[in-house]
Amino acid sequence: MLKERLLDIFEKHQGKILGSLFGLIVAIVFLTVGFFKTIFILILVAIGYYFGKKIDNRENIGELLDRILPPGKLK
């Protein structure tokens, strides 16, 4: 009963719950390591998400890295 109720609440308020959790985690990291290190961590997470999304979509990461890195370095 409780599990079903919690799942129902989560389905209705998924964005609010996940956004609040993300904000809490960022706040804890900010208070622990400082502003600039937190920004750096968030940038790396965004880059990791971007590459993970490419992998999930079965896109060729080699072509992307060839555009970013100097030609011929990825072999």
Residues 3-61: tens digit of each pLDDT: 999 999 989 999 999 999 999 999 999 999 999 999 999 999 999 999 888 888 888 88
| The pLDDT of residue 75 | 55
Q: Note whether 50 and 28 are same-domain residues.
A: no
Residue 72 pLDDT level (bands cut at 50, 70, 90)? low
Containing structural domain, residue 45:
34-75
Q: Note whether 17 and 47 are same-domain residues.
A: no
- Report which residue type is found at 5: R
- Number of structural domains, the chain? 2
Q: Mapping DSSP to helix (H, G, I), strand (E, B) and coil, where does residue 15 land?
A: helix
Type and span of the H or E element at 21: helix 14-33
In whole angstroms, give the CA distance from residue 57 to residue 75: 22
Q: Note whether 27 and 6 are same-domain residues.
A: yes
| The pLDDT of residue 43 | 95
Best CA proximity match to 28, nearest among 38, 43, 18: 38
| The pLDDT of residue 73 | 56
